[in-house]
Amino acid sequence: MNSQLQNCISINERANNFEELDKKVQFHPFTDAKANLEQGGFIIERGEGIYVYDIYGKKYLEGMAGLWSVAVGFNNQRLINAAMKQLNTLPFYHQFSHKAVLPSIELSEKLIEMSPVPMSKVFLANSGSEANDTAIKLVWYYQNAKGNTQKKKIISRKNAYHGITTVSASLTGIPTIHKGFDLPLKSFHHLTCPNYYREALEGESVEQFVDRLAQEFEDLILAEGPETIAAFIGEPVMGAGGVIVPPKNYWEKMQEICKRYDILVIADEVICGFGRTGEMFGSETFNIKPDMLVVSKQLSSSYQPISALMINEEIFQHVAEQTSVYGAFAHGFTGGGHPVAAAVALENLKIIEEEGLVERARRVGTRMFNNLKALENHDLVGEIRGVGLIGAIELVDCKTSKAPFETAGKLGRYFCARAHEHGLIIRNIGDVIALCPPLIISDEEIDEMVNLLHKALNDTYNWRKTFE
C-alpha cells in the first residue's frame, strides 16, 4: 500500500471515528436530533481567512462568517495574541460586587465612544440572547423605578430573531423557536414583518405598506393601552428571519409612534453592528435613535463569547436610584465582562477601524449585490435583497405567485446542500439563501462566492425540472 493511499485511509478513519463520537455524545442546537443520530455532525476542523476546512481536509468558502459573526476571518493572529496575553496576565475575574478588570473598563469606554447615539453605561454579558434578556429585565426594572408598574408589555415583529433564552425567545417572532417550549410568554406582542416582497397587499406601494405597518403598531398600542406598552425592539436589518431590509421611512415612522406614547426603543445590533450594513452600526444606516443598544457576534468576531448592552443616562439614573433602595442590581453572569473576551473584543474593534473594514463592507457589498442582481432573472429567483455585506436570494417555484416548490423550504434545503458540495457554506432560512461573508472578503473572493452560488442555483434548477 503506497503512503498516499494509507494517509487517505487514516484521514477517513479518524473522521469516521469523530462522526460516530459526535452522534454518541453531542446534542446540537438548531438541529434535528434524530437525524443527527443517523448522519452525525458536519465537522469543521480549522480556518484560514474566509475559508474553513472540514475534518476530511475539504476547503469551504464561509459565506455566513460562521453565524453572521467572524468579521476578521478565522485565523487572525492579532486576536490570538490578545487572548494569549490576557490569559497570561489574568485569565478570569468577575464583575460582581464592585469588582472590575482593566479590559472590560477599556472596552466599555470604547463602545460608548463608538455608539451612534449618546450612551451612558455598558453592561457586559456572554451572548446576544443574554444581552437582550438583560435589556427586557432592565426595561421592567426601569418602569418600576418610575412608578409605571403597568407599563411592561414589549412589542417585537414576526420573523424577528432576538435569541433563545426564555425572554429573548419570547421577543423572537419565529414560530419554530416557540413550538414545544410554551412560548412566547405573555405580554410579548409581534407586529407584521416589514417584508415588502412578502407582506405587501396587491397594488400597495412601498409608502402605503409602511403607513399600514405604522398604523398597525399604533392600533395595537391603543387597544392594549399606552400605559401598558414599555418598549419596542427591532433589528435594523432582520437576519435569521430572512435578511429583511426595512423599506424607506419604516424606522422613522415606528420611532415617531414610540416617542408619541413614551415607548423605549431597543436596537438589536447583534448582527448589524460593527460594519455589516456598510456603516459602523445599522442604527446609522436606518437613522435609528435607540434608548438601548445590544451588540455581540462581530464585537469579538466570535473568537470569544461576549455581548454588550448600552443604555442611555436617563435609564441609568432611574435604575441606579432603585438599586440603591434594593442594595444591588441583582442580575449578572459569571462570565460577563470576562477579561480575555474583553481583550479580544478591544483588539477586534481596533482591527475593524485600522483596516477600514466598514468602508470595505460598503464597497465590496456593492459588488456582491450587483453580482447577485445578475441572478434575478433566473426562473427560481424571486427577489435579491441586501445592504452592505449582508444579502439574500429568495427562491420561488413561480415568480408570479411567489409560491414555493411543493413545501416551503424544499428548494432552499436542496440549494444549500449543493452549495456545500461545491465548497460554499451558506444558510437556508426556508427558501431564503442568506449571505453574510467575513468583512475581510476581497473582490475576487466575492466573485468566487457568487460563481459557486450560480452553480448551486443551476443544480437546483435541473433537479426541479426532474419533477415535471
- Mean pLDDT calculated for residue range 12-21: 90
Q: Is the model's pLDDT at 4 over the cut of 70?
A: no
CA distance 434 to 464: 20
Whether pTM exceeds 0.85? yes
CA distance 367 to 444: 10
pLDDT, tens digit (0-9, with 9 covering 90-100), for 333-358: 999 999 999 999 999 999 999 999 99
- Mean pLDDT calculated for residue range 438-467: 97
- Mean pLDDT calculated for residue range 276-283: 98
Q: Is the model's pLDDT at 453 over the cut of 70?
A: yes
CA distance 196 to 192: 10
pLDDT given at position 10: 85
Contacts of 359 (CB under 8 A, 6+ apart): none
Q: Is the model's pLDDT at 5 over the cut of 90?
A: no
Q: Is the model's pLDDT at 291 over the cut of 80?
A: yes
Q: Is the model's pLDDT at 468 over the cut of 90?
A: no
pLDDT, tens digit (0-9, with 9 covering 90-100), for 411-447: 999 999 999 999 999 999 999 999 999 999 999 999 9
- Domains defined for the chain, CATH in brackets: 42-72+356-465 (3.90.1150.10), 78-354 (3.40.640.10)
Q: Is the model's pLDDT at 74 over the cut of 70?
A: yes
Mean pLDDT, rounded, of the chain: 96
Q: Grid coordinates representing 35? A: 437525524
Packing angle, helices 102-114 and 339-354, rounded to 10: 40
Residue 9 binned pLDDT confidence (cut-offs 50, 70, 90): low
CA distance 278 to 285: 8
pLDDT, tens digit (0-9, with 9 covering 90-100), for 91-105: 999 999 999 999 999
pLDDT given at position 40: 84
pLDDT given at position 6: 63
- Mean pLDDT calculated for residue range 394-408: 95
- Mean pLDDT calculated for residue range 308-334: 96
Smallest Cα–Cα separation from 292: which of 133, 127, 104? 133
The torsion of the CA quartet 128, 134, 136, 142, rounded to 10 degrees, works out to -150
- Mean pLDDT calculated for residue range 39-63: 95
Residues across the chain: 468
Q: Is the model's pLDDT at 373 over the cut of 80?
A: yes
Q: Grid coordinates representing 130? A: 443574554
3-state secondary structure the chain: CCHHHHHHHHHHHHHHHHHHHHHHHCCCCCCCHHHHHHHCCCCEEEEECCEEEECCCCEEEECCHHHHCCCCCCCCHHHHHHHHHHHHHCCCCCCCCCCCCHHHHHHHHHHHHHCCCCCCEEEEECCHHHHHHHHHHHHHHHHHHCCCCCCCEEEEECCCCCCCCHHHHHHCCCHHHCCCCCCCCCCEEEECCCCHHHHCCCCCCHHHHHHHHHHHHHHHHHHHCHHHEEEEEECCCECCCCCECCCCCHHHHHHHHHHHCCCEEEEECCCCCCCCCCCCCHHHHCCCCCCEEEECHHHCCCCCCCEEEEECHHHHHHHHHHHHHHCCCCCCCCCCCCHHHHHHHHHHHHHHHHCCHHHHHHHHHHHHHHHHHCCCCCCCEEEEEEECCEEEEEECCCCCCCCCCCCCCHHHHHHHHHHHHHCEECEEECCEEEECCCCCCCHHHHHHHHHHHHHHHHHHHHHHHCCC
- Mean pLDDT calculated for residue range 292-297: 98
Smallest Cα–Cα separation from 212: which of 247, 173, 258? 247
Q: Is the model's pLDDT at 2 over the cut of 70?
A: no
pLDDT given at position 39: 85
